Structure 1
Amino acid sequence: MTRTDLNPHSRVGVWLQGLALLISALLSGCQSPLQALQDQALIRHQHLEVIHTPTFPLMLGMPSPAPVSPRLRVYLEGDGHAWATSRQPSLDPSPLNLMMAKLAFSDPTPSVYLARPCQFVSTQACTPLMWTDRRFSPEVLASLDHALDQIKARLGNQDFELVGYSGGAALALLLASRRDDIAQVQTLAGNLSPRQWVALHDLRPLTGSLEPLDERQRLAHVRQRHFVGSEDRVVPPPLLDRYRRALGEARCVQSIVVPGARHGEGLEQAWRTWRNQPIACQP
């Protein structure tokens, strides 16, 4: 009978090779959010840099060479990895899901990607309060507002289109309520009203955060299109209905419910289909 068993030394060698492959796989799975963002930027020929504002430094991603257009689309990141557990804030709010960066980097329309304060780049002002209760605070809004000023001065665009994901939607609306150069706002799984959102989920109020609907008179004149997944349990479709009712008389607000989509999943194709379509307005 011919034996085909490996000798002990061969078995040890195979075991060591398998262990090395396992360790390599584990290490690749432990890639940091910043490394993942850098990889996506490299694949899509994007340039990453840090914009310094008086309140927070912000990560910016844009094509190389920089886009030149009268209107610039700005993809505004969501809340990211704000919570480690249901009660424990995370130590790093950088997003683990890079959907917004991927959408921005693959968009043929002149576009840039703008992360939220404390995502990918930190400073002493970055405490858990800034990505939990104060995620929509005046200082967070001021940093994004200042970043838009810098981008406009550098690229020479006349106005902006803001695209906000999740909590980035609330900030997009707040920016639109205070600036005169926001042509339109589109949102993906957007938290359009933090006040209504915490009430729906029976959460404590976001102390120190601003509320878009407090600026409803100005927002009623802003062109808006909002995408929500039919299976989204974080920002469910009824919240969009509540926002529209609370907004009052607004002619140019369009809602799109994406069948089967969840929070941050299944929205990409609908976005690519509709992103450049004119927003429908009522007569």
Structure 2
Amino acid sequence: MRTLPAAIHVIVLAAFLVMPLAACSSLATRYDIIAEGYGLTPGKITAKGFVLRTYRNAEAHSPEQSLNLYLDGDGRPWRSRTSISLNPTPRQPLMLELMALDPQPSLYLGRPCYFGQEKAPGCSPLLWTSARYSETVVATMAAALEQIFREEKIQKLNLIGYSGGGVIAWLIAERLPQVTRLVTIAANLDVRAWTEHHGYSPLAASLDPSERQPLSAEIEHWHIIGTRDLQVPAKWLDDETQPAIQNAHIMRINSDHRCCWKNYWTEILRRTVASTSY
């Protein structure tokens, strides 16, 4: 069998080493292109030493209005059950797609170490695997929001989180007084039960809404679940004494974990964060 010359071996090896970095960069660029197509403006904000990606819609915001904040799912923490992903950024821009349907002033906030920041100082795979809902992640995103509040004099915030982003939204809601509404979509709010159900490794370094005190009754809390969702089964909502969903309005939608949320989003917005602008 013929073998490649040594020089070519070096070139091939270098190409394989560059490929993961190029993939990280191209995925972040892909989001920018998609966002531009929706009329959303990309940006960045630095908090606690981390750089977080943002996207905004074009709606003007005044202090009297509520800002709708969109938080995405966990993306791709693992490539397989035994291999950690080099780039956890979500492959499907579901929350950008939903935000594009929102006529209210809205902001998409990414997580630490996502969108090409995987190798940035302070980042490690721990922050998108076992510690994906950790104090570090939640405090960083809350600090970014507090910075936005100060700069833009925002007084009211509606948190909207999908899947694992719903977990983070819940954890942010308990610490920011500006939060008036929380909307979680297909969110695994009992983290321990979710990992045990799927046979996943315990998220030992993460916070778990099911193990914390219920949210303030002053926060209007909606939990929306797909009746065909196999990732976060709807039957988990039957026990409304769970701390994470106490005082919550429960809405069941004919959807699975990923499919068809866009079909219902305008109506969901109308029912959950309704204002005179809808």
TM-score bracket for this pair, using the shorter chain length: 0.7 to 0.9
Q: Please name the residue that 1:43 is paired with.
A: 37
Query: Do the aligned partners of 2:59 and 2:103 also contact (CA within 8 Å) in 1?
Result: no
Q: Letter of the 1:85 partner, please give it.
A: S
Q: Letter of the 2:243 partner, please give it.
A: L
Q: Does 1:62 align with 2:56?
A: yes
Query: Do the aligned partners of 2:59 and 2:105 also contact (CA within 8 Å) in 1?
Result: no
1:168 counterpart (139, 149, 165): 165
How far does the alpha carbon of each residue in 1:215-248 deviate from its partner, in whole angstroms, 9 at most, with x for none?
Answer: 3233555311122112211111123334x32128
Query: Do the aligned partners of 1:196 and 1:239 also contact (CA within 8 Å) in 2?
Result: no
Distance 1:278 1:187 in 2: 10
Q: Please name the residue that 1:201 is paired with.
A: 198
Task: Give SS of 2:157's match.
Answer: strand
Distance 2:25 2:148 in 1: 29
Q: Kindly state the Cα deviation for residue 33 of structure 1 after the two structures are TM-superposed.
A: 2.1
2:67 counterpart (69, 72, 77): 72
Greater Cα offset, 158-167 or 122-131: 122-131
Q: Give unpaired runs (5+ residues) of structure 2.
A: 1-23, 274-278
Task: Give SS of 1:276's match.
Answer: helix
Q: Does 1:214 align with 2:216?
A: no
Distance 1:274 1:212 in 2: 23
Q: Kindly state the Cα deviation for residue 39 of structure 1 after the two structures are TM-superposed.
A: 1.2
Q: Does 1:83 align with 2:46?
A: no
2:242 counterpart (226, 246, 267): 246
Query: Do the aligned partners of 1:229 and 1:266 also contact (CA within 8 Å) in 2?
Result: no
2:259 counterpart (257, 261, 265): 265
How far does the alpha carbon of each residue in 1:9-40 deviate from its partner, in whole angstroms, 9 at most, with x for none?
Answer: xxxxxxxxxxxxxxxxxxxxx99321221112
Distance 1:146 1:191 in 2: 23
1:148 counterpart (139, 145, 151): 145
**Larger Rg: 1 or 2?**
1
Q: Does 1:111 align with 2:69?
A: no
1:181 counterpart (178, 181, 185): 178
Q: Letter of the 1:235 partner, please give it.
A: V
Q: Does 1:32 align with 2:26?
A: yes
How far does the alpha carbon of each residue in 1:52-94 deviate from its partner, in whole angstroms, 9 at most, with x for none?
Answer: 0114211011134753353100001110111111221110011
Q: For 1:95-134, what aligned pairs fall within 5 Å after superposition?
A: 95-122=90-117, 123-134=120-131
Q: Please name the residue that 1:236 is paired with.
A: 233
Query: Do the aligned partners of 2:223 and 2:245 also contact (CA within 8 Å) in 1?
Result: no
Distance 1:110 1:52 in 2: 21
Q: Give unpaired runs (5+ residues) of structure 1.
A: 1-29
1:92–1:214 distance in 2 versus 1, CA, 3 Å: same
Query: Do the aligned partners of 1:173 and 1:219 also contact (CA within 8 Å) in 2?
Result: no
Number of aligned positions between the proteins: 249
Distance 1:214 1:220 in 2: 17
Q: Letter of the 1:178 partner, please give it.
A: R
How far does the alpha carbon of each residue in 1:154-191 deviate from its partner, in whole angstroms, 9 at most, with x for none?
Answer: 22221100000110111111111112111010011111
1:107–1:248 distance in 2 versus 1, CA, 3 Å: closer
Q: What TM-score, normalized to structure 2?
A: 0.82
Q: Letter of the 2:214 partner, please give it.
A: Q
